[in-house]
Amino acid sequence: MQSLITFTKTAALRTQVVRAAMISQPSVSFAKIADKEKGDEKNFFNKEDEKLLKGLLKKMNAQVKAVEQAPEECQKSADALKEIFKKHKLDEATHKTLFDNLVDWKNKFSQ
């Protein structure tokens, strides 16, 4: 009888050990998957940040070019627009806002 009790306790203990091992193994696998997902997420956001920074750099370079644009070029645009206004019998003083907006638009897109 004593050996049957010992055998039952031993079997129960083995079952607990096996269950504990089975439970611990998936958690290790899940931890590896979670680490991989974190790494993938970090890579994704790093690439997105890089794209955004490149776009920002392009915008900043365009603004610098606009500021550094030669005054002679701006004057040429204004003179050409004055000729167009004369051709269509528009007074520059009367349509000052339109004239200025067109000169700004032309200089902005001629980069």
Yes or no: say if 111 and 62 are a contact pair by the CB < 8 Å rule: yes
Q: Which of 16-20, 43-47, 105-109 has the highest mean pLDDT?
A: 43-47
Report, as an integer, the average pLDDT of 40-49: 91
Instruction: Centre a 10 Å sphere on the Cβ of residue 99 and count the other Cβ atoms it contains.
Output: 19
Report, as an integer, the average pLDDT of 10-33: 63
At residue 1, the pLDDT reads 53
21 or 77, greater pLDDT: 77
Q: Given a cut of 90, is residue 48 above it in pLDDT? A: yes
Lowest-pLDDT range of 8-12, 29-33, 104-108: 8-12
